[in-house]
């Protein structure tokens, strides 16, 4: 039976590849989705890959994941640093949650050093570029396997 993982992206990530490429690189979000789909097939995971600039939509997707998904990989983008509501939604999700940041947020402005989402995340990946998404998927695959390591 295949397992569904939600890969959720927050505000401005629709501009990936065009927005501050010296920080976020040249790959687009469509490129990242394609890479995630290739890896997910190898890991025998299904993925729902989504992006929104609206906080409520991300919250609704996390609620949807409660019913359908085994895990969540999330790059909440700027909502990382502001959203108690996304934290609360993730706290209502039972499976593993991996938080991903393309840039190393700890090397940047002080306001990026705090993450509400990290209070819930089982793992946090920052500064590994878009590879972080792939590592997040691998971790979810392992944590949701029959015999997790």
Closest approach of Cβ 147 to ligand DQA, in Å?
A: 32
Task: Output the 3-class SS for 46-94.
Answer: EEEEEECCCHHHHHHHHHHHHHHCCEEEEECHHHHHCCHHHHHHHHCCC
Specify whether 106 is catalytic.
no
**Site size with ligand DQA, rule: CB under 6 A:** 10
- Judged by beta carbon, residue 101 or residue 120, the one nearer ligand DQA is 101
Contact with ligand DQA (CB under 6 A) among 37, 50, 112, 139: 112
Closest approach of Cβ 146 to ligand DQA, in Å?
A: 32
Locate 125 and state its tokens.
């990946």
Q: How many CB atoms lie within 10 A of CB 119?
A: 11
Contact with ligand DQA (CB under 6 A) among 7, 45, 101, 133: 101
Closest approach of Cβ 77 to ligand DQA, in Å?
A: 3
Which sign does the torsion angle of CA 125, 139, 94, 7 carry? positive
- Judged by beta carbon, residue 65 or residue 125, the one nearer ligand DQA is 125
Burial track 42-69 (b if 16+ CB lie within 10 A, e otherwise):
ebebebebebbbebeebbebbeebeeeb
In three-state secondary structure terms, 31 is helix
Q: What is the dihedral of CA 112, 141, 96, 48, to 10 degrees?
A: 70
- Judged by beta carbon, residue 21 or residue 41, the one nearer ligand DQA is 21
Q: Rule CB under 6 A: is residue 9 a binding residue for ligand DQA? A: no
- Interaction pattern, residues 13-52, with ligand DQA; x per rule: CB under 6 A: ----------------------------------------
Residues annotated in a binding site for substrate: 75, 81, 88, 102-103, 112
Question: Which residues are marked as active site?
Answer: 24, 101
């Amino acid at each position: 039976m295949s397992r569904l993982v939600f890969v959720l992206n927050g505000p401005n990530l629709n501009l990936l590849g065009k927005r501050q490429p010296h920080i976020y690189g040249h790959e687009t979000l469509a490129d990242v989705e394609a890479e995630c789909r290739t890896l997910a097939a190898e890991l025998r995971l299904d993925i729902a890959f989504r992006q929104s600039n609206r906080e409520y939509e991300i919250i609704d997707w996390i609620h949807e994941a409660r019913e359908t998904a085994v895990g969540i990989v999330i790059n909440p983008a700027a909502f990382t640093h502001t959203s108690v509501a996304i934290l609360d939604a993730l706290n209502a999700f039972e499976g593993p949650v991996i938080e991903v940041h393309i840039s190393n947020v700890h090397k940047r402005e002080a306001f990026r050093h705090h993450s509400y989402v990290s209070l819930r995340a089982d793992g946090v990946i920052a500064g590994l570029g878009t590879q972080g998404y792939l590592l997040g998927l691998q971790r979810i695959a392992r944590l949701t396997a029959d015999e997790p390591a």
